[in-house]
Amino acid sequence: MRQIIIIGSGPAGYTAAIYAARANLQPLLIASSVEAGGELMNTTDVENFPGFPEGVQGPDLMTKMQEQAERFGTEVVYDDVSAVDLTGPIKTVTLGSGETHEALAVIVATGSAYRKLGLSDEERLSGHGVSWCATCDGFFFKGKTIAVVGGGDSAMEEATFLTRFASKVYVIHRKDTLRASKIMQERAFANDKIEFIWNSEVAGILGADAVEGVQLRDTVTGVESTLELGGLFVAIGNDPRTHLVHGQLDLTPDGTISVGGRSSKTSQAGVFAAGDVVDPTYRQAVTAAASGCVSALDAEHYLSTLPQDLLAKASETELASVTN
Ligand code: NDP
């Protein structure tokens, strides 16, 4: 049995691991088999993470975070978690391999996934003009005509932000009214560089090696047309990855894991949540990292309240895993 298991290997998971490891809790971090490193593995230049004035490649940043966590004794396992039992004082985490690990505390840092349009060319042109993150990639679209898909706050925020770089930004929305808050709508309507294309969905993305345009379909008439573009931002929402904890942890109306105030404490004692899985609003690497720190400090405090015999049992296993 471990003192602590961290599920997730984005900035929240690794920051939690750095803090937990430095507190001598010898955390086990489950990093996922294919998506280890989280969303930043799909990003190129990260220019807004403090401490890297020249910018840093997303995958390099995640490697550095992992090295830092391992340096203090984090054990990283590359597998997917298939099930968890978070009830009771001893939690169990089952991996895809069938292996089961026990721990006194669990940090859930499973992140969120950008919703996708579900078009075949979306994946192919991802990083070649198709993006899900204006803050990350907007800079690369200087002087271009681009489009944002969506009618929520994210789409308005991204479209408005992108006008700093792009010469023109279309907002493609499947209805004729927006879901976005009034203030965000008004800001977008007032921006000369933004033009709305109503009642339209993207039926296809055009371009051999990079985005050259989109095929639009009118959602009322079904009529198709082509729009030339140098980039396409998909801003149709995010889904926190909570499937593992459904029925075990309380969720918010946004679908994120519910935590108490500014803490990482979930509805289950000994279970903490951090990063995008608790954050419907900011979703930045640096805010996820900060939230990971909070979760490790909360977990450390929780562990210090547990009976000595339980803690001794956990420490024996950790010692054995280090000696083997
Ligand atoms: P939302 O779920 O609010 O909006 C998603 C938008 O995308 C909707 O307009 C929806 O259309 C559209 N959409 C969904 N699926 C598809 C699809 N397959 N094809 C085309 N369009 C699609 O997500 P957001 O990310 O915008 O916002 C999430 C939360 O975060 C909200 O609570 C929001 O207020 C908050 N937020 C706040 C910000 C701020 O205050 N600064 C900034 C960003 C987000 P339809 O309307 O037809 O359903």
Q: pLDDT by residue (tens digit) across 83-137?
A: 999 999 999 999 999 999 999 999 999 998 889 999 999 999 999 999 998 888 9
Using CA atoms, how far residue 238 sits from 17, 146, 166, in Å, is 25, 21, 24
Torsion sign, CA atoms 119, 8, 95, 35: positive
Give the per-residue pLDDT at 319. Answer: 61
Between the CA of 126 and the centroid of ligand 1 the distance, in Å, is 20
The atom number, within ligand 1, closest to the CA of 117 reads 18
293 noted as active-site residue = no
Give the per-residue pLDDT at 150. Answer: 98
45 noted as active-site residue = no
Question: Is residue 75 in contact with ligand 1, taking CB distance under 6 Å?
Answer: no
Question: Is residue 252 in contact with ligand 1, taking CB distance under 6 Å?
Answer: no
Give the per-residue pLDDT at 320. Answer: 66
Give the per-residue pLDDT at 84. Answer: 98
Mutate to test the pocket of ligand 1, among 132, 153, 162, 172 (most ligand atoms within 8 A of CB): 153
Question: Is residue 152 in contact with ligand 1, taking CB distance under 6 Å?
Answer: yes
The atom number, within ligand 1, closest to the CA of 181 reads 34
What is the Cα–Cα distance from 112 to 240, expressed in whole angstroms?
A: 4
Which domains, from first to last, does the chain contain?
2-114+238-314 (3.50.50.60), 120-234 (3.50.50.60)
pLDDT per residue as tens digits for the range 273-288: 999 999 988 888 999 9
Give the per-residue pLDDT at 40. Answer: 80
What is the Cα–Cα distance from 85 to 42, expressed in whole angstroms?
A: 31
What is the Cα–Cα distance from 242 to 248, expressed in whole angstroms?
A: 10
Question: Is residue 153 in contact with ligand 1, taking CB distance under 6 Å?
Answer: yes
Q: Which stretches in the chain have pLDDT values below 70?
A: 42-44, 317-324
Enter the pTM of the model: 0.76
What is the Cα–Cα distance from 120 to 27, expressed in whole angstroms?
A: 39
Q: Whose CA is nearest to atom 39 of ligand 1?
A: 153
Give the per-residue pLDDT at 308. Answer: 92
Q: Whose CA is nearest to atom 28 of ligand 1?
A: 237
Question: Is residue 112 in contact with ligand 1, taking CB distance under 6 Å?
Answer: no
What is the Cα–Cα distance from 146 to 166, expressed in whole angstroms?
A: 7
Contacts of 262 (CB under 8 A, 6+ apart): 294
Give the Cα-Cα-Cα angle 181, 185, 188 (nearest 5 degrees).
Answer: 145
Give the per-residue pLDDT at 42. Answer: 60
Find the catalytic residue in 45, 85, 133, 218.
133
Q: How many CB atoms lie within 10 A of CB 172?
A: 24
The number of residues in the chain equals 324
Give the per-residue pLDDT at 38. Answer: 81
Give the per-residue pLDDT at 46. Answer: 80
Q: Whose CA is nearest to atom 34 of ligand 1?
A: 153
Give the per-residue pLDDT at 43. Answer: 61
Give the Cα-Cα-Cα angle 305, 307, 308 (nearest 5 degrees).
Answer: 110
Could you tell me whether strands 2-7 and 28-30 are parallel, antiparallel, or unpaired per DSSP bridges?
A: parallel
